[in-house]
Every structure is written in C-alpha cells, then in structure tokens.
Amino acid sequence: MQARTLKIIAALLIISAVFMGIIGYKISQEDSSKSRAVSQAQASTAEQTDFAYAQKLIIVNRGMNKGEIVRTEDVQLIPYPLLVDGSFLKAGDVLNKKLESKVAAGAILRESDFEKQSTLAPQISAGYRALAIKVNETSSAGGFLKAGDRVDIIFSTRASKATYNKSMSRRLLKNVRLIAFGTDVEREDKNIVVTDKKGKPSKDDKESGKSSRSAVLEIALEDIPVLSLAEESGELRLVAIGESDIESALVVTTANGIAPTDNKHMSDTDRTAFIRDVTGLKPPPAPKSVYVYSGDSVETITVRN
C-alpha cells in the first residue's frame, strides 16, 4: 500500500513537471515574439529618423550683404528635415561666389541669392534714371560707342512749321554716362557684359556696334522731360568725349582753386529757354504775392524775383 502511494505521487509529479515545461515554453515564445516586435519597431523608427534628416543644407553663420563673397567660415552644413527647392547640399557649390541679395543669419542659401535681379538697375547712380533713346550709325559716333563711354547730347532740328520756321542746334547735356549700348551693359566692375534680348548674358553681339538701335543714358531726374521733348521735336546725336577731356569736364576753376562740378544737369535757365524755343510757349510769370489762409486770418507773402 505504501509503495503504490509513492508510485502515484511520483507519476503526478512527472505529469506536473511536463505541464510546467509546456507552459514555460509557451511563455518564453510569447516573450521572444514581443521582443522581436519591439526591436523591429525601434529599427523602423530609427530608419525613419535617419531618412528624414538624411540631407544636409548650407546655411550662413552671419548676416551677409549684397556683393559679399561667400567664404568657408561664413557657411556650415546642418541636418534639415525637408529638402528646400534651390538649396545647396555641398559647401563647394557656394564658396567664392558673390551674393546678389542680402541674406539673414541662419538662412538657407538658395540659387536665387546668387542670381542678379536686374542687369540695369545696379548700374544707375542715385538721383538718376536710365533713359533709352533711338540711335543709328550716324547719330551714335559711327556706331563705335561702348557702354561706359561719356557723351555730349546734341539736339538739332530743321526749320518747319512745327518749329516755328526756326532751325536749331544746341548741346543739351554734357558728360553723360552711356550705361548700355545695343545689348552691351556696363557692370559695376566696369567690365562690359553682352546680353541677349531677354537680358541674359550672351556671346551674340549682333545688336551692338553699328547695328545698335538704342542707347541707354544715365539722365538726371529733372532732365528727363526735356530730353523726351527733344527726341520728339528733332534729332538727338551722341558725341563721344575723349579720355583727355573726361576729367577736365568734371572740374571747374574757381577763385579758390579747382572744385568738382556736375555738368550732367541742365540749369533751370537753360531748361526754360529750351522749352520756350521748342514749343514756342513762354512759362507763366512768377506770382508777385501769395495768400496764406489760416482760419479767419489771411497773410500776404510777397514773392521777390
């Protein structure tokens, strides 16, 4: 009886051990599956993170102004989550290039920062405007003018009913800078760039020289109406100034020595006289007095000629 009991207990223990082994195996398999799932999720997240920041873009370390040259110390590559259109991925693509626009510190450098926005505007001095006039070989010194030359502008017209039976020829402006001639434009570095009809650099100079049909002049703002009137009323000719006379045209001798002068402007007297001669109209006389009203009071101011 005692031996049988021991056998039964031993059998039960064996059966329990088998069940415990089976349960342990199942638990270990579930833990292994969970671990693999977590590892795969982590790997997937890492891959997504690496993909999102795979590219590095060029930014500037400091604020830079137009005309500055990009140096190694001015830029750096940083990871960036998005690929920006027109951006640069290599520092070598921007080094030693001239900026054509102002860039703030930390900004991403783009291709547009190195593209000149206007071919003509950077060449115009403050207080002046670029005015184009029609020219031909005869009226442009035989077509031998170049952008950057200095010229005098001569106005002439034949006697006719429109000119009140008067022939006229006079120098309107002196020492005017020729900004562009045909498709040639003078750059800031005084070199000449040839552009096509769309304003882009080109090697084709068919519109330059003797075949040029337009000249762009740097004209003072107040002289633009006079020059426009002159072109409509007669013929304009560009007379080239020699190198020996350019410097002397910029100075005038005074009692105290030599002082700079601006020969590119017309005086008010010359401007008025030209308009009167061309149109036949006399400017209205200056008022002798001006009335200033302030509430119920009136003040009379006498204008002296």
Q: What is the pLDDT of residue 286?
A: 62
Instruction: Return phi, psi of residue 95, to 5°.
Output: -65, 140
Q: Determine the Cα–Cα distance for residues 129 and 304; give it in Å rounded to an integer.
A: 33
Quickly list H helices, the chain. Answer: 2-52, 224-233, 243-246, 268-279
User: Residue 219: which pLDDT band, with cuts at 50, 70 and 90?
Assistant: very high
Give the pLDDT of residue 7.
73
φ/ψ (deg, to 5) at 88: -115, 140
Cα–Cα distances (Å) from 22 to 10, 17, 31, 86, in that order, read 19, 9, 14, 63
- What pLDDT is recorded for position 282? 64
- B/e letters for 6-31, b = 16+ CB within 10 Å, e = fewer, are eeeeeeeeeeeeeeeeeeeeeeeeee
Note if the pTM is more than 0.75. no
Where does the pLDDT of residue 153 fall: very low under 50, low under 70, confident under 90, or very high at 90 and above? Answer: very high
Position 70 confidence tier, pLDDT thresholds 50, 70, 90 = very high
pLDDT tens for 251-301 read 544 444 444 445 567 787 887 787 777 776 666 666 677 777 777 777 777
CATH code for residues 53-117: 3.90.1210.10
Average pLDDT over residues 84-89: 86
Residue 187: pLDDT over 60: no
For the chain, the average pLDDT equals 75
Residue ranges per structural domain of the chain: 1-48, 53-117, 121-279
Q: Does residue 268 contact residue 275 with C-beta atoms inside 8 Å?
A: no
**Rounded distance, CA 233 to CA 209, Å?**
26
Cα(171)–Cα(147) distance, rounded to whole angstroms?
Answer: 21
Between 268 and 104, residue with greater pLDDT: 104
pLDDT of residue 152: 92
Q: How far is CA 90 from the centre of its chain?
A: 24
Burial class (CB in 10 A: 0-12, 13-18, 19+), 192: middle
**Is the model's pLDDT at 218 over the cut of 90?**
yes
Q: Is the Cα dihedral 240, 246, 250, 255 positive or negative?
A: negative
Rounded to an integer, the average pLDDT of 125-131 is 89
Single-letter amino acid, residue 68: E
pLDDT tens digit sequence for 33-43: 666 665 565 65
Residue 114 CA to residue 106 CA, distance in Å, equals 17
Residue 80 has pLDDT above 80, yes or no: yes
How far is Cα 40 from Cα 22, in angstroms, rounded to an integer?
A: 27
Return the percentage of the chain with pLDDT > 70, whole number. 69
Listed residue (125, 124, 97, 122) closest to 112, CA to CA: 97
pLDDT of residue 301: 74
| Percent of the chain at pLDDT exceeding 90 | 9
Residue 52 clears pLDDT 50, i.e. is over it: no
**Chain-centre distance of CA 35, in angstroms?**
59
Counting DSSP H helices and E strands in the chain, the numbers are 4, 13
